[in-house]
Amino acid sequence: MVHQKIGRILEYPFSGLIVFLVLGLFVPLVIPTYWVMVVTEILIMGLFATSFNLLFGYCGLLSFGQAGFFGVGAYVTALLLSKGVGSYILICIASITATLIAAYFIGYLCVRRDEIFFAMLSLGFGMMLFTIAHNWREVTGGSDGLPLSTVPPVDLGFSKISLFHPLHGYYFVLAFVFVGLCILQVVVHSHFGLMLKASRENKERLAFSGGNVASVRLVAFLMAGGLSGLAGMLFCIFNRMATPDMLHWSFSAKPVLMTILGGAEVFWGPFVGAVIFFVLEQLVTNITENWMFVLGLLLIPIVLFFPRGILGTVLNLMKSSGRGSHGQ
């Protein structure tokens, strides 16, 4: 049957990336301009949620301060752009480097804790970053943030491409998000990825097997932080501003919600969660202002009855129905 085949294809590690790339390249060509903007935001938040899930799904660490790193990436980008820096390569390197430095210090202090202690520590450090963004007016612009009057064109050598055109902006974001997702996908299937699963499963056994649990976690924390910073950079370029609410703990809740919607146990769960989150938000806000209420209504049955999330549940059904008819 067709869906069994799909199930088997989905188990092949890189088929997800291929599907993503094909959809990513062609979908914006057939949807209205307004939706191109929505899908751009989905890409950015999908990368953000997937990097968050490297910690949550693969290491069992609930980071509640991930927005702090997203915000560092966004502010570094805004600062450089407002100072007239025109090279996106340079901006990308600078925002990721700054995020990695922040993630190193915060991660060093967080990774020796578990569960609620890790979550609260990461929340606390995230709020410290928020406070810096909010109160250091001379540099960060305080509560107004840093609005950008313009963003420079992308210099491809043979031509310069303006990011003001929604489709250009979209493909610009797609390229970075695709690279970010490729990195994550490769990492979770690597020897290191096996150590991440081991640290989530049984960190004592990992230690007594020769693994330095704190180092394994710290490296994962750096990767998740760096890619969240990359997402923040894209968000800043896309919205032409950096604001303190990007670092607020309520912004950290977004990847958590998206991951729970889509499913933490599967690589594409958080991304699918981001798609559902934004598409629903668009549809619901057309009808009612109470989008958060509807989101709550949706989350409750998922948490209670489908703890694997929407994608996790669907993939699981496909797998078990595939197995069922194998036996016949």
Partner 1 sequence: MASENILEVRNVTHRYGDFIALKDVTITVPEERLTALIGPNGAGKTTFYNVVSGKYRPSRGSIIFNGVNVTGYSPHKLSLMGLSRSFQITNIFHELTVIENVMIPIALHEGKGFYFWTKYRKDRHLFNEAMKVLSLVGLEDVYARVTRELSYGDRRLVEIAIVLAGKPQLVLLDEPTAGMTPEETEKMVHLIKNLATTTETTFFFTEHDMNVVFSVAEYIYVLHQGELLAQGKPEDIRADPKVREAYLGGSLDT
The residues of the shown chain that bind partner 1, judged by CB under 8 A, are: 13, 186-187, 189-195, 197-198, 201-202, 204-213, 216, 219
Cα distance between residue 50 and residue 30, in whole Å: 26
Q: Which ranges of 247-290 does DSSP label H, i.e. alpha helix?
A: 249-262, 269-287
Minimum CB separation of residue 317 from partner 1 in Å reads 19
Closer residue to partner 1 (CB): 158 or 208: 208
Q: Which is nearer to partner 1, 39 or 196 (CB)?
A: 196
| Closest distance to partner 1 from the beta carbon of 126 (Å) | 26
Least CB distance from residue 216 to partner 1, whole Å?
7
User: Residue 204 Cβ, how far from partner 1 at the closest point, in Å?
Assistant: 6
| Other Cβ atoms closer than 10 A to 279 | 14
98 Cβ neighbours under 8 A, 6+ residues apart: 72, 73, 76, 229
Name 161's bridge partners: 154
- Closest to 140 measured CA to CA, from 76, 66, 230: 76
Q: Compare residues 148 and 213 and give the one whose CB is closer to partner 1.
A: 213
Compute the distance between CA of residue 222 and CA of residue 203 in angstroms, rounded to an integer: 19
Task: Please check whether residue 280 is in contact with residue 298, taking contact to mean a CB–CB distance below 8 angstroms.
Answer: yes
State the nearest-atom distance from the C-beta of 201 to partner 1, in Å: 4
Nearer to partner 1 by Cβ, of 265 and 281: the residue is 265
Give 148 or 182: the residue with its C-beta nearer to partner 1.
182
